[in-house]
Chains A and B, each alone.
Chain A
Amino acid sequence: MSTWPIWTVGAVLLIGAGFAAVAVPRLRAGDLHRRTEWSAARAAIGTATVSRDACPVPVAEAEQLLSRAELIAAGRGGLAAARAAAECARRADALWRAAARG
């Protein structure tokens, strides 16, 4: 049969298009989600840095938490890394604010 290439190529295209139609939006959404989380993490780290500079007394635990958050951020990981960095930075920020309030 001379029409076999049409069927083979057509079937491959159908399957490929199906996969692409599912995978591309999913990848795009995942990428957006990741960037959002990293944006939140960077904002939290920036806030914590400001709180540290404003704090009159050194807080060792907060320093540790912030440096860990910065370390994670420097490693450029995925969703979980972004969440962990944001969590560390937020806790450090809270510690410094408490220390600054006295």
Chain B
Amino acid sequence: MADRFPRPRPEWLRWAVLGVAAGILVIFLGAQRQSIEVSYGASPSTAQRIDQEPPGSAGVPSVEEMSALIRAKPVVRLPGAVASWDEAAVRAAAGGAEVRILVAPPGLDKAEQDRVRDVEGATVRIIGTQVSGGLYRSTGSTAADWRSQFATGDVTTLLMGLVAELNDQPAPAETDRLARRDPSAAELRAVTADLRRTGVHVAAGATLTEVPAAAAAAAFPGRRALYVALPQQPAGKPVPRYGPALAASFPDTPIVVMYGSWIEYDGPDAAGFAELATATYYGRFGDLLSRSAYPQRAVLATYLDRAADVRYSGLFDRPLPYRPLDPVRVALPALPWLFTACVVAFLLLSARSVRRPAPSAPSLGTPARLAGLTGLAVEMSALTSRASDPALTRGITKLLAARDALAGNLPDPHARELLDDAEAELDEAAQHLPFDGYRPGDYLRRRPA
């Protein structure tokens, strides 16, 4: 019985599954648009370049003059040169090969830099503290490199790396060439007094004229930072380290100490912040600073911009903003599975509707009627007369067509129509027979069911 009368197809279920699948797809596509950007607001600073133009350069002699100088002496220091190095260490790194070094002052313009590069016979050229030679340029990559380069003008590490590379020698080991010492009580007292009074200490020889107020406010909002500016320190001597000593005197206060172009930070969050700011600042501007002679105000302003950028990037000193629970985001990983399940369900239900056509089993009466009429035609064919012959033949033709229709699973009404025609023909033929009882109506009634 269950086969004869199948349950009505759950058509609504199929459409429901399709609707759910479409809904999930829409949710998924909508979720693609949501960004997970968490912003603390845009940084007001633009630490993309150093705003101030560098001051005019000291100038260099002509190419011929410099070539003559370098031919005469292995090391030529042009007036204003700031770089220094440990000659013995560099000679050792070169492995005995001759090294001729031309040292130019920082802050040269483009034409002057080209002139320095055109000098023949110089193995290594140093412009400011930028070291180059052959096809190479040697740049610092660690805080120790930058510290000795910018605080004291000591380019020994860079030179050693370059001459070793030029002469196919093994690269020298990394060393921190800058020795540090604690500042003496007298030094500390002078600085502390200035800081207590104005918040800024500018040592003799330092080029800091004023602290850039806007950049300072962006870098350390709501706090008054202290600034100490020292000139470039003499190379080869221990450099005093003011930061920790001042941090002890001024707790919970940002302290920025400049040694020439080298900037150190101490104070709150120094552990997480100082290294990051140093690496991003000198990684970005180290090359420019090494060959230029910017005053300390420009260097400090760009550093403070950099600090503001770090602060606004959210890496430092700020809790993450509250993010409410987003049900879509939570459910997102499950959506593909739900979608797949809906697709499979829809496919199965659709396959059922495709595979099972509407039940068109012929009613049992039609084949029985065909059989009865065929029997009648066979009986009549033995009694046929000239007058009944065509009608009988036509009837038989219709019967054959009805048989083919039933065999070909054509719709029942069509077969019945053909049988009606055949019955009419046989009826006409029977009227011409001399015997009664061959009219299809009578005959079929007589036949046993």
Contact = CB atoms under 8 A, between A and B. Distances in A.
B394 A14 contact: no
A46 B340 contact: no
B21 A25 contact: no
A3 B397 CA distance: 64
Given A25-B353, A47-B398, A17 B346 contact: yes
A21 B398 contact: no
B405 interface: yes
B288 interface: no
Contacts of A83: none
Given A35-B410, A39-B414, A6 B336 contact: yes
A11 to B, nearest CB: 6
B350 A10 contact: no
Contacts of B418: 39-40, 43
A3 B339 CA distance: 11
A100 interface: yes
Interface string B397-428: 11011001100101100100110010000000
Interface centre among B343, B353, B398, B400 (most CB of A within 10 A): B343
A78 B389 CA distance: 34
A100 B390 contact: yes
Given A21-B350, A21-B354, A39-B404, A50 B410 contact: no
B353 A21 contact: yes
A39 B405 contact: yes
B401 A50 contact: no
Contacts of A42: 401
Nearest to B21: A14
- Where chain A touches its partner, the secondary structure class is helix
Contacts of B411: 32, 36
A76 interface: no
Interface string B340-367: 1001001100110110010000000000
A20 B350 contact: yes
Nearest to A21: B350
Contacts of B335: 3
Contacts of A7: 25, 28, 336, 339
A42 B421 CA distance: 14
Interface of A: 1, 3, 6-7, 10-11, 13-14, 17-18, 20-21, 24-25, 28, 32, 35-36, 39-40, 42-43, 46-47, 49-51, 53-54, 100
Q: Enumerate the 9 nearest inter-chain pairs by beta-carbon distance, A residue then B residue, closest first.
A: A54-B390, A43-B401, A21-B350, A46-B397, A10-B343, A3-B336, A17-B350, A6-B336, A24-B354
Interface of B: 18, 21-22, 25, 28, 32, 335-336, 339-340, 343, 346-347, 350-351, 353-354, 357, 389-390, 393-394, 397-398, 400-401, 404-405, 408, 410-411, 414, 417-418, 421
